[in-house]
Amino acid sequence: MAELFFGYFAGVIALTAVLVVALRNPVYSALALLVLFFHVAGLYVTLHAEFLAAVQLIVYAGAILVLYLFVVMLLNLKQDDRYHHQWRIAAFVCVPLLLEFLVLLAGNGVAPQSSPLTAEQTAAASDNTMAIGTTLFTTYLFPFEVASLILLVAMIGAIILAKRDIGEGGQT
């Protein structure tokens, strides 16, 4: 049963990921991305990470992708071909990645054996929200604070960029 679900989610994720870059209409690309986000959230649910699944939907599908759609509609990009002439750059990035992937596959094909869940892990799985919170605020406290600081810097940067012309006295 678990393999069946994984096969379905993985298949749809791969298919929609290709569609996001292959479709000509940017709005359709955004919708393919939406379907992809849903299936990634489904994968999280099969891994008993419900909190991550919900956050995935709220942050990516609910906020970021809506902004993408917003931009796509405002720019009115109808079947723009500009992006289809960048294959040289794409090849430059993707060929090394493909080589790495092949090396990894050929090297040691032994998947790490997943040990059966201990009692502690099962307890954590039943309330993974609490587990994530505890880990984030004890073990990974420093990286967490650094990440929030970086986001704060990005936020201030965005405000300065947006407010620049107001400071120069121009009314928009």
Q: Which residues bind other proteins (CB under 8 A)?
A: 27, 31, 34, 50-51, 53-55, 57-58, 61-63, 66-67, 69-70, 73-74, 126-127, 129
Cβ 18 to other proteins shortest distance, Å: 19
Handedness of CA 71, 25, 41, 140 (dihedral sign): negative
If one counts every other C-beta atom within 10 angstroms of the C-beta of residue 47, the result is 14
Cβ 39 to other proteins shortest distance, Å: 14
Query: How far, CA to CA in Å, does 130 sit from each of 42, 60, 133, 147?
Result: 20, 22, 5, 20
What type of residue sits at position 142? F
Q: Which is nearer to other proteins, 17 or 55 (CB)?
A: 55
Q: Which is nearer to other proteins, 100 or 145 (CB)?
A: 145
Q: Which is nearer to other proteins, 17 or 27 (CB)?
A: 27
**Which helix (H) or strand (E) element contains residue 134?**
helix 128-137
> Could you tell me the two tokens for 7?
């096969």
Nearest alpha-carbon partner for 34 in 56, 55, 51: 56
Cβ 147 to other proteins shortest distance, Å: 19
Q: Which is nearer to other proteins, 24 or 100 (CB)?
A: 24
